[in-house]
Structure 1
Amino acid sequence: MASNIPTRRITRQFRTTAQKDNENATARVARPMTRSKPPSNSGALAPASTATSRVTAPTLASRAKVVGKDENKVDHTAQGKRKREALGEVTKNTTKNIAVASKDSKAEKFDGVVIKTATNVRQPLRTVAGPTTRRSARGGVPVPSQIHPLEEVKEDVREPVKNAPVYVQPREAKMAVEDDRVFKKRRTSSDVPDDVKSFDEEDQHEVAQALELGVESEPEADPNGDDWDDLDADDADDPLMVSEYVVEIFQYMKQIELTTLPNPDYMSCQKELAWSMRGILIDWLVQVHARFRLLPETLFLCVNIIDRFLSARVASLAKLQLVGITCLLVAAKVEEIVAPSVSHFLHCADSSYSEAEILQAERYVLKTLDWNLNHPNPMHFLRRISKADDYDVKARTVGKYLLEVAALEWRLLATPPSLVAAAAIWLARLILGNDKWTPNLAHYSSYTESLLIPTANMMLNYILKPIRHESFFKKYAGKRYLKVSVWVREWALERWEEGAQASLAQDLPKLKALNRTERARQEAADVLHGGLEDS
């Protein structure tokens, strides 16, 4: 063990001696300003390292600093040049030296380009960090900095901002010209289906001609007339459609739908609740319903149970979420094949309540409703009416969106589910350009067109209001639902102002004339396109 100790010392001394010839070998720097060791003093440091013991020996950088103070043989020009090149600070005094050095080698020329770029990047930091002067490496004489003042940079940035309000004036001028919102030019969007046609204000004379022909002169289709077709006869071979009893089933549903309607003014009996709180609760339930991917019938039954329970009992604000999550649990047990468990609903409620509280609330809600859960779901009526519409996917998707609008809109609480479904299909067809309420649609919905306009008008006014229920809007803004919440709102805002109270009874003739003009134009374009293909 004793023989190995001198060997280790000799080896470490040899390593220390070998580092003196390498300029960038010293990793420990005494100060950030002295990154490199002066080459003129490297030879005088070698004997001192061998004579001094390892414990008390100073470092190479500290000895270089001491020798540099004692002897005045240091080349300050070369040392200062290396410091400035390392820190990226090149003054006007050394610009000529760099240009001369660039003639000798290509590396110096490349370093000069990099230094110039680095200086421009570091300008904001230098301006914020300290004064605009620095001291040179020779004698501490203040040298003016080459960094631009901050005021000049601000002026350069603010110049293009002055021309920003130029885009406001054309929009205001355009809005001033528009007299009738019904004939406003629509925006083009890639998300709008092909069935929703745009129009120009130049075509107002064509709409006027259609109005002169008498759009209102057409008689309404009678639900009890003889002009309808028996569509149930085609389903005689399908036992799931129960075509033998389907008429009696829907007649019974129309009878009991009036017995399961809530009190439309029950919020006046609630001390701590308001209609806006109900909207927030249902919007949150729409999010939970979409997360579990439950059936649409589950959501509508849940809303009906909530309204009927609050019509009979007074609930506090602290228990409102408990009422909502309990009613969704009850509706899921009725409509779903595999309903989520109580623990799943607790997770969505952020564990605000315990499992025992939900089960106790479930018993209380069912006892209050007298276990009456046979609410006719509006989805059943929607599917029935969609059969007369040849199962149009776009119209039925817009109809589902309008059904949930009716669930959020408290003003439609007193409306029967069959009327809500019929008004949703009618407004969806009007948006898509199919404004004719055929005898089949009137028969299978059991409503005339004039009876649907007030309910559809409330749905339209909800769409015209600013977006209040984000979860509901985002749900129907996805591709799964054809982004109907986006382009239906665009369709409405192109014809009426946001927040305005639309009147379909007054604007319906213009809308119908416009749709028929667009259909005639589209048919002419199709005939022309077909003739070009044949030729």
Structure 2
Amino acid sequence: MRSKTSMSHLGPAQRAAGVPAGAGVVGAKKGAAATVKAGAKRTALGGVVGNGVKGEEVMDNKPLKAGAVAKSTETRQPLASRQNNGQATRPIAPVPHRAKAPVAMDQTMATLLSEDDASEMDLDVLSHGPAHAQGKREVASAMQMQVGPEDGSSVGEVSDEEEEEEEEEEDDDDWLRMSEEDMVRNDIELADVKSRFEDEVDMFDTTMVAEYAEDIFKHMEELELSVMPNPRYMDFQTEIEWTMRTTLIDWLLQVHMRYHMLPETLWIAVNLVDRFLSVRVVSLVKLQLVGVTAMFIAAKYEEILAPSVEEFVYMTENGYTKDEILKGERIILQTLDFTVSSYCSPYSWVRRISKADDYDIQTRTLSKFLMEVTLLDHRFLRCKPSMVAAVGMYLARKMLNGTWDDAFVFYSNFTEAQLVPGASLLCERLVEHDFETVYVYKKYANKKFLRASQFARDWALTHAASAW
């Protein structure tokens, strides 16, 4: 039996505190242990061990299958690393791994993130955006009214024609544009479906709040229009391009997955980035600062236990300081007038559309992958979140040999003719030769997500050309 240390030689205060003899030596040993553990951060969140994501449904391990025909799973080699994409330099820092110390930045990255450039956000009020272009057009129109055209035609007619030409030029990339006949046909189809489709409402299911659902989604339809970014904001950016945005979003996907954040956090962060870049000019060296600050804001808004600002500094491999992220937070929120809660991610709409197929797990998992692919494609900035959800569900049904019946039209408010162009753009992205190198493909190639990315890419390579 181990003998108990006597406390008779201690004073009353020491006996009351329960301090044994040799406490100084023990304290020194504890101090040494604390020094060893000084590098461990976020003990409240736990170490990063797996790739689990909060907020996802518990999924079985059966692979996706098209209809009733089972699809054999082929043995695949590990995906290629990100360094094999052929890019000479990368303006976005890679995600640091928790198991080892942060890797020192290369010489190119250190040059971009110099102290002189990192002193502030380097953000200017938009001087080349739509408002400035509109002012230029007004000045030019006033000058034409004063001088007059050389051919003697009416000034008003010339200005109207020029405005029409400008509008046509602006709408060249608008793949959502439909003819008046198609719009009338879609409206008639929607009205017909809503008139004869009966929604089965379970009044005892309190989670679906059936008595308020119609009003809630009507309000969400109004809100999503107020938080749409400018789909052509890259026209007035001086240093960044769409490919740099794609690299930034790919990095945010890695950060989001590494720290087990909710799915809505990612969508809010991307929306904040696009809306901010729609009204402010940002330099290349500050693009990652905008991205990490947007994720910081979204995490504080959506997460129960959000990562600290020190964690976000670590995410950038100390490329930015704590003060720079906090200053960037103030600039972004003031620029966007603190409008964060008005954005509703496509996940909210998917939950409603999934009622049409009784919340089929394979369709939902595949649609979530397809929706995240749209984040990398700037052409989908024209889409409302409700349409992104509808496009993802429609293409997932198409891949699984399903149909877009009246139930899906009723719950999504989109007909098949409206969703085909978006599905075609997604298939174009899936068949690109370097698509397997992006992180969203690697994420959904995991068995936990039913290897949805592998199934979707194989289907696109085989059937996309003849699907429509």
**1:175-199: CA deviation from partner (whole Å, max 9, x where unpaired):** xxxxxxxxxxxxxxx9553637489
Q: Aligned residue for 1:195?
A: 67
Q: 1:237 aligns to what SS in structure 2?
A: coil
Aligned counterpart for 1:279 among listed residues 243, 246, 261: 246
Q: Is the 8 A contact 1:222 1:442 kept in 2?
A: no
Larger RCO: 1 or 2 (CA < 8 Å, sep 6+):
2
Q: Aligned residue for 2:197?
A: 228
Q: Is the 8 A contact 2:363 2:397 kept in 1?
A: yes
**1:424-464: CA deviation from partner (whole Å, max 9, x where unpaired):** 10110010111x21111111101111111111111111111
Q: 1:247 aligns to what SS in structure 2?
A: helix
Q: Aligned residue for 1:484?
A: 452
Q: Distance in 2 between matches of 1:268 and 1:352?
A: 27
Q: Aligned residue for 1:397?
A: 365
Q: Aligned residue for 1:417?
A: 385
Aligned counterpart for 2:338 among listed residues 371, 385, 402: 371
Q: Distance in 1 between matches of 2:442 and 2:349?
A: 25
Q: Is the 8 A contact 1:399 1:428 kept in 2?
A: yes
Q: Aligned residue for 1:433?
A: 401
**AA partner of residue 418 (structure 1):** S
Aligned counterpart for 1:238 among listed residues 205, 223, 230: 205
Aligned counterpart for 1:337 among listed residues 291, 294, 304: 304
Q: Which has the larger radius of gyration?
A: 1
**AA partner of residue 304 (structure 2):** I
Q: Distance in 1 between matches of 2:321 and 2:70?
A: 54
Q: Aligned residue for 2:317?
A: 350
**AA partner of residue 275 (structure 1):** W
Q: 1:222 to 1:390 in 2, by over 3 A?
A: farther
Q: Aligned residue for 1:255?
A: 222
Q: Distance in 1 between matches of 2:337 and 2:241?
A: 25
- The answer to whether the aligner puts 1:454 opposite 2:421 as a matched pair is yes
Q: Aligned residue for 1:308?
A: 275
Please give the TM-score of this superposition, normalised by the length of structure 2.
0.59
Q: Is the 8 A contact 1:197 1:433 kept in 2?
A: no
Q: Distance in 1 between matches of 2:263 and 2:68?
A: 26
Q: Is the 8 A contact 2:64 2:362 kept in 1?
A: no
Equivalent residues in 2 for 1:119-138, closer than 5 Å: none
Q: Distance in 2 between matches of 1:222 and 1:301?
A: 33
Q: Is the 8 A contact 2:369 2:440 kept in 1?
A: no
Kindly state the Cα deviation for residue 384 of structure 1 after the two structures are TM-superposed: 0.7
Please give the TM-score of this superposition, normalised by the length of structure 1.
0.52
Gaps of 5+ in 1: 1-189, 200-218, 497-501, 510-535
Q: Is the 8 A contact 2:353 2:412 kept in 1?
A: yes
Q: Distance in 1 between matches of 2:369 and 2:434?
A: 14
Q: Is the 8 A contact 2:66 2:401 kept in 1?
A: no
Kindly state the Cα deviation for residue 338 of structure 1 after the two structures are TM-superposed: 1.6
**AA partner of residue 433 (structure 1):** N
- The answer to whether the aligner puts 1:493 opposite 2:461 as a matched pair is yes
**AA partner of residue 423 (structure 1):** V
Q: Distance in 2 between matches of 1:352 and 1:336?
A: 24
Equivalent residues in 2 for 1:32-181, closer than 5 Å: none
Q: Distance in 2 between matches of 1:448 and 1:194?
A: 22
Q: Aligned residue for 2:163?
A: none
Q: Distance in 1 between matches of 2:264 and 2:394?
A: 21
Q: 1:314 aligns to what SS in structure 2?
A: strand
Q: 2:305 aligns to what SS in structure 1?
A: coil
Runs of 4+ in 1 over 4 A off after TM superposition: 196-199
Kindly state the Cα deviation for residue 223 of structure 1 after the two structures are TM-superposed: 3.4
Q: Aligned residue for 2:355?
A: 387
Kindly state the Cα deviation for residue 335 of structure 1 after the two structures are TM-superposed: 1.5
Kindly state the Cα deviation for residue 354 of structure 1 after the two structures are TM-superposed: 0.9
Q: Distance in 2 between matches of 1:454 and 1:282?
A: 23
- The answer to whether the aligner puts 1:408 opposite 2:376 as a matched pair is yes
Q: Distance in 1 between matches of 2:418 and 2:407?
A: 16
Kindly state the Cα deviation for residue 479 of structure 1 after the two structures are TM-superposed: 1.0
Q: Distance in 1 between matches of 2:297 and 2:419?
A: 32
Kindly state the Cα deviation for residue 273 of structure 1 after the two structures are TM-superposed: 0.3
Q: Aligned residue for 1:101?
A: none
Percent identity for Structure 1 against Structure 2: 43
**1:205-237: CA deviation from partner (whole Å, max 9, x where unpaired):** xxxxxxxxxxxxxx9994333332323x21x22
Q: Distance in 1 between matches of 2:458 and 2:259?
A: 30
Q: Is the 8 A contact 1:381 1:421 kept in 2?
A: yes
Kindly state the Cα deviation for residue 238 of structure 1 after the two structures are TM-superposed: 3.1
CA RMSD of aligned residues (A): 2.1
Q: Distance in 2 between matches of 1:304 and 1:446?
A: 23
Aligned positions, number: 289
Q: 1:495 aligns to what SS in structure 2?
A: helix
Q: Is the 8 A contact 2:399 2:459 kept in 1?
A: yes
Q: 1:461 to 1:194 in 2, by over 3 A?
A: closer
Kindly state the Cα deviation for residue 246 of structure 1 after the two structures are TM-superposed: 0.8
Q: Distance in 2 between matches of 1:431 and 1:245?
A: 33
Q: Distance in 1 between matches of 2:336 and 2:463?
A: 43
Kindly state the Cα deviation for residue 239 of structure 1 after the two structures are TM-superposed: 2.9
Q: Distance in 1 between matches of 2:312 and 2:214?
A: 38
Q: Is the 8 A contact 2:253 2:439 kept in 1?
A: yes
Name whichever structure is richer in helix by fraction.
1
Q: 2:382 aligns to what SS in structure 1?
A: coil
Q: Distance in 1 between matches of 2:206 and 2:63?
A: 39
